[in-house]
A and B are shown apart, each in its own frame.
Chain A
Amino acid sequence: MKVLVAVKRVPITGGKMVLTDDGQAIQTRHLGFTISPHEECGVEEAVRIVEAQGGEVVVLTLGPPEAEDQIRECMALGADRGIHLVTGEEWDAQATASALVEAIDAEGPFDLILFGNESADASGFQVGIRVAYALGLPVVTGVKAIAAADGRARLEQEVPGGRDVYEVPLPALVTVKEGLNLPRYPSVPAKLRAKNKPVDSKPVTRPESKLEKLRLVVPEGQGKQAEILGNGPGAAPAVVEVMQKLGVA
């Protein structure tokens, strides 16, 4: 199986969102970076499929030059090579999808293409679906179990009140969610091997945004004044009183 996983470099935000002075981005000077949790599970799943059935795992990203770090992280999990569309700007979902489609088309067909259900940062819920339409592939979203073999895939999607099952022919595009698997912790040799795996980098130019970001805003309500019920176990009666007031005890 030839499996492609699309990933996105995002900051590890911790407890508080702090914006740059122009309100265009999160202040990341003191932050680390990663890929979205859903996508990490996508990479792990792709690697497991290829370990079991043979083939190749290719990681595709659109992002700044530093996003190569995230491609290397995916390689440490077991991905074989990377395609990096390099841009210093943030792209909207439509433009991102178009650029990814062009890159995928140039690579020839994949049996399975994995995306995260939504990116951690922009949370647009649509790039994978748009790519599937452009490539003419069936698409299933929010998947938490994949069984792919013999040209077909059985997919389970978590819904309120259980799981919905889909069966699609391959090739297909699947967007996945965290919980699909528990990604491995990369070993030191795997990290070393990742440094020498091939990354194909090419600059791309952003078209005009149809959903144009004007500015980011930190929502109100961060910084509530909590009512202190007490310190240590001595607070228990006050806690139970609150529970009774709320009608839950």
Chain B
Amino acid sequence: MSVALFFEANDELSAQALTLAQSLGEVRAFSFEGPYAPAAWASALIDAAGDDDIVGPGSERGNEVLAHVAAQLDLPFAANVTDVRGDEVTRQRWGGTLLEEARIHAPRKLLTAAPFAFAPSDSLLQAETLRPDVSGAVQVTEHIAPDTGGKVSLADAKVVVSGGRGVGSSEGFAILEELAALLDGAVGCSRVVTSAGWRPHTDQVGQTGTKVSPDLYIACGISGATQHIAGCKGAKKVLAINADPEATIFAHADYAVVGDLHEVVPAITAELKKVKG
């Protein structure tokens, strides 16, 4: 039995999807050239796959292309799968803070691999390049580069200093900004903060914001709602600073400081300056 893989890019999520695909059978990988046009890409992937199962990465485009494949074939599609057992899958709900075990009633499987649920495969892969005809198809017509003002982006930052309700105001983020700058990191926030208008939505870490995967995530005055955890669970290590020792965030943290962030964060900044000279 062979499996068709939507090999989106030579990146970590596609390498993780390859691991899932390899667990299902012999893999034929397909990459794409030309403007992104999800419906046309899906059609080309269907033609190339024959009757095989189709697997993609759990990225935005992976989930989008597989959903187009599913709509074109009128077959079920299980997004963000963490495990496959015969015709049963485990998949992520609520941005990965809850799992669903489900049975697929179909002659073939359409799946994406949940981000960071599989170790990336180190197999050398020869992907076949597809160049679908995208004329007349809905497609990307222009790309706008972000204006980051020279700062590291939230998604790419090695350190994210994030603030929640406990920060108290828009001005309160100045101490987080200072610490982040010292660490070459980015500032993030919880949904409460963007809803209150203290920070723009582009700074929001969470299920409906940016999903981050830094080496260190510093959660300051964040209670730890599932909405937020869904965005930061890709972090290698989490340090939580919170005045409430019972805060849920501590159950998701590797390191804890119990205390008022308005005192703790400046103290960390001062100590860093001292150590760095």
6 A-B contact pairs sorted by A residue (CB < 8 Å): A165-B142, A216-B100, A229-B256, A232-B258, A233-B259, A234-B267
Complex Cα–Cα for A166 and B80 (A): 26
Which residues from A are CB-within-8-Å of B68? Answer: 129
Q: Enumerate chain A interface residues (CB-CB to B < 8 A).
A: 13-17, 26, 36-38, 92-94, 118, 120-126, 129-130, 132-133, 138-142, 156-157, 159-168, 177-179, 182, 208-219, 222-224, 226-237, 239-240, 242-244, 246-249
13 extra interface residue pairs, beta carbon distance < 8 Å, beyond A212-B102, A224-B252, A246-B216: A36-B208, A93-B77, A94-B74, A118-B63, A120-B207, A125-B80, A140-B138, A141-B64, A142-B64, A156-B144, A163-B143, A211-B103, A236-B270
**Shortest beta-carbon distance from A6 to chain B in Å:** 15
Which residue on chain A has the smallest CB distance to residue B98? A17
Given A15-B248, A216-B93, A224-B251: A166 touches B158 (CB 8 Å cut-off): no
Given A93-B77, A177-B208, A212-B105: A126 touches B254 (CB 8 Å cut-off): no
B240 close to chain A: CB less than 8 A: yes
B57 close to chain A: CB less than 8 A: no
CB–CB B67/A232 < 8 A: no
A249 partner, pick from B99, B142, B272, beta carbons under 8 A: B272
**Shortest beta-carbon distance from A11 to chain B in Å:** 10
Which residues from A are CB-within-8-Å of B97? Answer: 13, 17, 219, 222
Which residues from A are CB-within-8-Å of B267? Answer: 233-236
Given A179-B201, A240-B268, A242-B255: A93 touches B76 (CB 8 Å cut-off): yes
Which residues from A are CB-within-8-Å of B216? Answer: 243, 246, 248
CB–CB B67/A235 < 8 A: no
Complex Cα–Cα for A138 and B142 (A): 17
B105 partner, pick from A123, A208, A236, A243, beta carbons under 8 A: A208
Which residues from A are CB-within-8-Å of B272? Answer: 240, 243, 249
Q: How large is the interface on B (under 10, 10 to 19, 20 to 34, 35 or more residues)?
A: 35 or more
B4 close to chain A: CB less than 8 A: no
CB–CB B67/A38 < 8 A: no
**Shortest beta-carbon distance from A175 to chain B in Å:** 9
Central interface residue in B39, B63, B92, B103, by most chain A CB within 10 Å = B63
Q: Is the interface of B mostly helix, strand, loop or mixed?
A: mixed
B93 partner, pick from A92, A123, A234, beta carbons under 8 A: A123
Complex Cα–Cα for A182 and B195 (A): 7
Q: Enumerate chain B interface residues (CB-CB to A < 8 A).
A: 36, 38-39, 60-61, 63-64, 67-68, 70-72, 74-80, 88, 90, 92-106, 138-146, 155, 158-159, 183, 185, 191, 194-195, 197, 201-202, 204, 207-209, 215-216, 223-227, 236-237, 239-240, 248, 250-260, 263-264, 266-268, 270-272, 275-276
Number of A-B residue pairs at CB separation under 8 A: 254
Complex Cα–Cα for A243 and B96 (A): 27
**Shortest beta-carbon distance from B36 to chain A in Å:** 7
Which residues from A are CB-within-8-Å of B158? Answer: 248
Which residue on chain B has the smallest CB distance to residue A240? B271
Given A178-B201, A233-B267: A161 touches B141 (CB 8 Å cut-off): no
Complex Cα–Cα for A212 and B76 (A): 10
Which residue on chain A has the smallest CB distance to residue B67? A126
CB–CB A236/B79 < 8 A: no
CB–CB B105/A126 < 8 A: no
Which residues from B are CB-within-8-Å of A93? Answer: 76-77
Which residues from B are CB-within-8-Å of A156? Answer: 144
Complex Cα–Cα for A142 and B63 (A): 11
Complex Cα–Cα for A212 and B77 (A): 11
Given A218-B99, A226-B240: A122 touches B93 (CB 8 Å cut-off): yes
CB–CB A126/B77 < 8 A: yes
Which residues from B are CB-within-8-Å of A178? Answer: 201, 204, 208-209
Which residues from A are CB-within-8-Å of B225? Answer: 13-15
Given A163-B146, A226-B253: A210 touches B105 (CB 8 Å cut-off): yes
Given A133-B72, A164-B36, A211-B78: A236 touches B143 (CB 8 Å cut-off): no
Which residues from A are CB-within-8-Å of B75? Answer: 210
